[in-house]
Amino acid sequence: MVEAIRVEGLEKKYVTKDRIGLFKSRKKVIRALKGVFFKVERGEILSLLGPNGAGKTTTIKILATILIPDSGTAYINGYDILRERDKVRTQIGVTFSVERGFYPRLTGFENLVYFGMLQHLSRSEAKRRAREMLEIVDLSRDAHRLFDEYSLGMKAKLALARAMLHDPPILMLDEPTIGLDPVAAKNIRNLLLTLRERGKTILLTTHNMSEADTLSDHIAMINGGEIVAYGTPEELKARLNKLQIISITLQSKGRDPRVFLMDIGSIIRVSENSGVSVVKIGCKKGEEMDVLYMALRKLRESGFNLLRVEVESPTLEDVFVEVARGEFKKTS
């Protein structure tokens, strides 16, 4: 049996303009996707996890046949997104994080019936499906209130209901919990687990690591338009747990501390603000004291005035930088 989703080398550039003066601009090319590969098995939840700008929405738009890639392709239940677009659309239900397109002066129920009929359901069939979907997303009680009066959490549920009107086997959800309060976000997550139990395949995007952790069968981490790690949450965590971050704040006075730390750990990033720099060094858990000692000695010998030292657990951003550099793979 073919995979629910098979993504083969998607590349996508955006051409925009950079303003360089009041009346001047320069053409700018952004490589949003640089060859994205991954697959989603039937009946599983896969999270595409990555920071802002990683290429998550671009990937979903291409898979949903809203955007055409520059090269590469993907197969949805075996159908090619480039050559079998209509077939692909019967297989998928899609939501985007900023929910537009609902009619505020219609009720949730009326909105769904309207969209059902747009998808060529008869009025009675659309009503039946709308009721069924409202039940599934637990909105039956609020079915006859105006969309305008819905909370964000209710809007998110309605968006899910709309995505499922034509009963697609695959759902593609772009940041389904973004902007929701913790309770509403949890409701949506529980709902996604229920949908998986009912046999749906779900591809979702998130920048929230714990969300990806609690929901997913597999996680594909994306950064800078590339998949940088793939595995079950357990596999990835086992790798992430081996990383520690040493953070050193110092007076740099125009000198770049990296020059003096070349042989030590892996420098994740240096940020500088009016003569004060923060250096972040990644190292394996258990080695942080050795790395710290060496780094401090080098910096002192080089005449830097040290202000503050901390050993931190990696943030998602640190982990991404490490994973993207490939350093981290070597240590796991």
Ligand X SMILES: Nc1ncnc2c1ncn2[C@@H]1O[C@H](COP(=O)(O)OP(=O)(O)O)[C@@H](O)[C@H]1O
Sites of contact with ligand X (CB under 6 A):
14, 16, 30, 32, 50, 52-58
Are the C-beta atoms of 51 and 223 separated by less than 8 Å?
Answer: yes
**Partner from ligand X, Mg ion, none contacting 16, C-beta within 5 to 8 A by type:** ligand X
- Only one of the segments 30-38, 57-65, 206-214, 256-264 lies at the binding site for Mg ion (rule: CB under 5 A); that segment is 57-65
Q: Cβ closer to Mg ion: 56 or 200?
A: 56
Least distance from ligand X to the Cβ atom of residue 303, Å: 39
- Only one of the segments 41-49, 50-58, 62-70, 270-278 lies at the binding site for Mg ion (rule: CB under 5 A); that segment is 50-58
From CA 283, how far away is CA 105, in angstroms rounded? Answer: 56
Strand partners, 247: 280, 310
Least distance from Mg ion to the Cβ atom of residue 56, Å: 5
Please tell me whether residue 57 binds Mg ion under the rule CB under 5 A: yes
Count residues binding Mg ion (CB under 5 A). 2
Least distance from ligand X to the Cβ atom of residue 226, Å: 12
Helix (H) or strand (E) holding 329: helix 327-331
Are the C-beta atoms of 283 and 246 separated by less than 8 Å?
Answer: yes
From CA 329, how far away is CA 327, in angstroms rounded? Answer: 6
Least distance from ligand X to the Cβ atom of residue 155, Å: 20
**Partner from Mg ion, ligand X, none contacting 252, C-beta within 5 to 8 A by type:** none
**Partner from Mg ion, ligand X, none contacting 53, C-beta within 5 to 8 A by type:** ligand X
Least distance from ligand X to the Cβ atom of residue 103, Å: 26
Token digits for 87?
């077939």
Neighbours of 238 (CB within 10 A): 12
Neighbours of 72 (CB within 10 A): 18
Strand partners, 241: none
Query: Which residue in 169, 179, 175 sits closest to 202, CA to CA?
Result: 169
Q: Cβ closer to ligand X: 29 or 262?
A: 29
Which residues here bind Mg ion, judged by CB under 5 A? 56-57
